[in-house]
């Protein structure tokens, strides 16, 4: 199972919006609406931000949203804040009871 493809880095200024893409195949992202997104600050454990493509867990800001089109899922962060600076990972359920992560995207808030 190959890793999902994410851009290595994205950046934006406070208040702006950014989108992180996550491209897979018809065996994972394209087959299921089961993409989740995780935020990871340095030396910390990942934190769930989006699940099942577009759902937010309790306590996650509504500035975070998710979507999917074909084999590509996207995470959008609106109204960028300094504390959003982190690494973001997508993850998809793949066939035969396995999961696959993306390579991660470093978000810099300028």
Stretch that binds other proteins, among 9-17, 21-29, 33-41, 66-74 (CB under 8 A): 33-41
Beta bridge partners of 90: 37
User: Which residue in 36, 65, 71, 74 binds other proteins (CB under 8 A)?
Assistant: 36
Q: How many angstroms separate the CA atoms of 9 and 27, rounded?
A: 25
Among 15, 57, 70, 79, binds other proteins (CB under 8 A): 57
Of these, 26, 98, 108, 110, which contacts other proteins (CB under 8 A)? Answer: 98
110, 11 contact by CB (below 8 A): yes
Nearer to other proteins, 15 or 103 (CB): 103
Q: Binding-site residue total for other proteins (CB under 8 A)?
A: 25
What is the length of the chain? 110
Cβ 56 vs Cβ 48: under 8 Å: no
Assess 41 for contact with other proteins (CB under 8 A): no
Q: In this structure, are residues 88 and 4 in contact, taking their beta carbons and an 8 Å threshold? A: no
Q: Phi, psi at residue 23, to the nearest 5°?
A: -105, 130
Residues found near other proteins in the complex (CB under 8 A): 1, 3, 32, 34, 36, 38, 40, 45-48, 51-52, 57, 89, 91, 93, 97-104
């Amino acid at each position: 199972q190959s890793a999902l493809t994410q851009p290595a880095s994205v950046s934006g200024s406070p208040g702006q919006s950014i989108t992180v893409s996550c491209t897979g195949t018809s065996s994972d992202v394209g087959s299921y609406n089961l993409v989740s997104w995780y935020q990871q600050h340095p030396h910390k454990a990942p934190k769930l931000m989006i699940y099942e493509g577009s759902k937010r867990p309790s306590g996650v800001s509504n500035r975070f949203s998710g979507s999917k089109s074909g084999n590509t899922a996207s995470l959008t962060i609106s109204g960028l804040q300094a504390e959003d600076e982190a690494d973001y990972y997508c993850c998809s359920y793949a066939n035969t009871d396995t999961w696959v992560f993306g390579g991660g995207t470093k978000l810099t808030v300028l």
